[in-house]
């Protein structure tokens, strides 16, 4: 008769080998699960850190633009100058003119043109004309003379 310390062939089992040792496949699955969870934590952590850094850089860029182009063109008197630099930014157009002034132009659209947004119509070398006490801008370009009202959407068909 075979005891619990013997295998089927009658050979006595080594008590050290009789310890509960998980099968290799089970250990491998547990290790894989742990490494997936650890890697997921790294990815989420790095994504969070990357997002924070991205927001900081974007905020710094916007603050720099706001400080550099701090003059609303509506607040200026007469302007007659050429565009030497332009930066459209989410509905606002920042322009640097030959009078060595930098302005920002609020979202302005004219639906009579193929490109309705003012920032899509102003090019380097164009002339900007604004009269005192006026919110209208005339742009003299190779396309001809264009007109926009600062901060307004004009010539839009009624729905």
What 3 state SS string does 10-51 have? Answer: CCECCCCCCCCCCCHHHHHHHHHHHHHHHHHHHHHHHHHHHH
State the pLDDT at residue 84: 95
Give CA–CA dist 94/133, Å, rounded: 21
Say if residue 98 is in the same domain as residue 137. yes
Shared-domain flag, residues 49 and 112 = no
Q: Which residue has better confidence, 109 or 64?
A: 109
Model confidence at 16, pLDDT cuts 50, 70, 90, reads low
pLDDT band of 148, cuts 50, 70, 90: very high
Are residues 121 and 136 both part of a single domain?
yes
Please identify which residue in the block is written with the tokens 């005891």.
3
Q: Which of 31, 47, 68 is the last residue of a domain?
A: 68
Q: From CA 97, how far away is CA 103, in angstroms rounded?
A: 8
Return the closest-CA partner of residue 136 out of 156, 117, 122, 150: 150
Phi, psi of 92 (to 5 degrees): -110, 140
Q: Could you identify the residue written with the tokens 């002034």? A: 101
Domain that holds residue 33: 22-68
Whether 118 maps to a domain, the answer reads: yes
Residue 104, pLDDT above cutoff 80:
yes
The answer as to whether 1 is a domain residue is no
Q: What are the start-end ranges of the H helices in the chain?
A: 24-68, 118-121
CB 158 within 8 A of CB 125: no
**Portion of the chain with pLDDT greater than 70, in percent:** 72
33 in a structural domain: yes
pTM: 0.55
What tens digit of pLDDT does each residue of 25-56 get? 555 566 576 677 788 888 888 999 999 999 88
Question: Predicted confidence band at 103 (pLDDT cuts at 50, 70, 90)?
Answer: confident
150: which DSSP letter?
T
């Amino acid at each position: 008769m075979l005891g619990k310390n013997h295998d089927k062939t009658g050979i006595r089992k080594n008590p050290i080998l009789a310890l509960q040792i998980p099968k290799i496949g089970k250990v491998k699955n547990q290790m894989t699960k742990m490494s997936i969870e650890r890697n997921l934590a790294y990815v989420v952590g790095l994504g969070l850190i990357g997002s924070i850094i991205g927001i900081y850089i974007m905020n710094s860029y916007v603050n720099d633009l706001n400080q550099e182009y701090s003059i609303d063109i509506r607040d200026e008197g007469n302007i007659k100058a050429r565009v030497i630099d332009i930066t459209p930014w989410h509905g606002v157009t920042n322009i640097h003119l030959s009078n060595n002034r930098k302005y920002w132009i609020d979202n302005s659209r004219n639906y009579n043109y193929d490109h309705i947004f003012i920032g899509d119509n102003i090019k380097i070398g164009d002339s900007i004309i604004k009269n005192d006490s006026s919110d209208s801008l005339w742009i003299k370009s190779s396309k001809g003379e264009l007109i926009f009202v600062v901060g307004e959407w004009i010539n839009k068909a009624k729905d």
